[in-house]
Amino acid sequence: MRRALVVAMTVLCLASASASARPGARVRAACRVPHLSGLTLAVARKSAAHARCTLRVKGAAVEQPGVQTVERQSPRASRRSPSVTVWLNPVCRGSAAYGPGIMEPAVTPGPSQLVSGFYLVGGRLTRFSAPGCKRPAQSPAGGTVEVMNASGAVVARRTSENGHFAEIALPPGSYTITGTFLSATVNGAHPKRTESVAIQAGYTVRQDFFLGVP
């Protein structure tokens, strides 16, 4: 009886060891991790499934997989791992058109000059996904900047194309600047906006023009 019991236990141990030695018997086989950072969660899920990787989600709560983007992943792409963890960015809401999001006029050390861009702001609310809901910098539109001195004389004029700023070197002093939006019309005319700036020696002044859109 004792001999039969010893034999049975030996067979059971050998079978257990054999199962543990077989690749994939208890541990999921490693996959080649795909690149997921920057993708929406919906696309990341499909990529992970195609690569046969288990996907784990952390970070912001899942609200809209088709909108939320992956901020980072671990392990990185091309590594071998049975699973990949991604950290999500939150779902954010804001106007479709927006400006640079800085306090203006912005005065910084540099050449004595004026820097101006043209921005459309407003429009319908839209959903986006970004770290801390910080949106990427918006490119300025095209426009013409006219600079007048304290006596009302035009001392400079500069036209900028879409995606570029108007940069105007000016001597120190107080100026009135008028910006004409060339990429927009209101009642058949290009809208204008006026601002006042003070240029100091050794400083650059950033003053943009903003046009609200419905």
The CATH number linked to 74 is 3.30.10
Pair of tokens at residue 75: 């392990």
pTM value is 0.72
Q: In terms of domains, do 66 and 142 share one?
A: no
Q: Give yes or no: residues 121 and 103 share one domain.
A: yes
CA distances from 150 to 3, 52, 105 (A): 112, 70, 18
Decide if 1 is inside a domain. Answer: no
Q: Would you place residue 129 in the very low, low, confident or very high pLDDT band (cuts 50, 70, 90)?
A: very high
Per-residue pLDDT at 28: 61
Tell me, yes or no, whether 33 and 84 share the same domain: yes
When pLDDT is averaged across residues 156-183 and rounded to a whole number, the result is 97
Residue 7 in this model has a pLDDT that exceeds 50: no
- Which residues, in sequence order, are CB contacts of 40 under 8 Å at separation 6+? 65, 66, 67, 68, 69, 70, 129
On whether residue 43 sits in a domain, the answer given is yes
Say if 12 falls within a structural domain. no
d(CA 19, CA 24): 9
**Helices and strands (DSSP H and E) totals, the chain:** 2, 16
| 55: confidence class by pLDDT, cuts 50, 70, 90 | very high
Partners of residue 128 on adjacent β-strands: 92
Q: What is the pLDDT of residue 29?
A: 80
Please say if the pLDDT value at position 15 is more than 80: no
**What is the tally of structural domains in the chain?**
2
The domain that holds 193 is classified in CATH as 2.60.40.10
Interatomic CA distance for residues 193 and 198, integer angstroms: 17
Which pLDDT belongs to residue 2? Answer: 47
Class of residue 123 by CB neighbours under 10 A (exposed 0-12, middle 13-18, buried 19+): middle
Given a contact cutoff of 8 angstroms between Cβ atoms, the answer to whether 165 and 144 are in contact is no
Percent of the chain with pLDDT over 70: 87
With 70 as the cut, is the pLDDT of residue 89 above it? yes
Residue 14 falls within a domain, yes or no?
A: no
Same domain, 200 and 113: yes
> Quick one: pLDDT at residue 27?
52
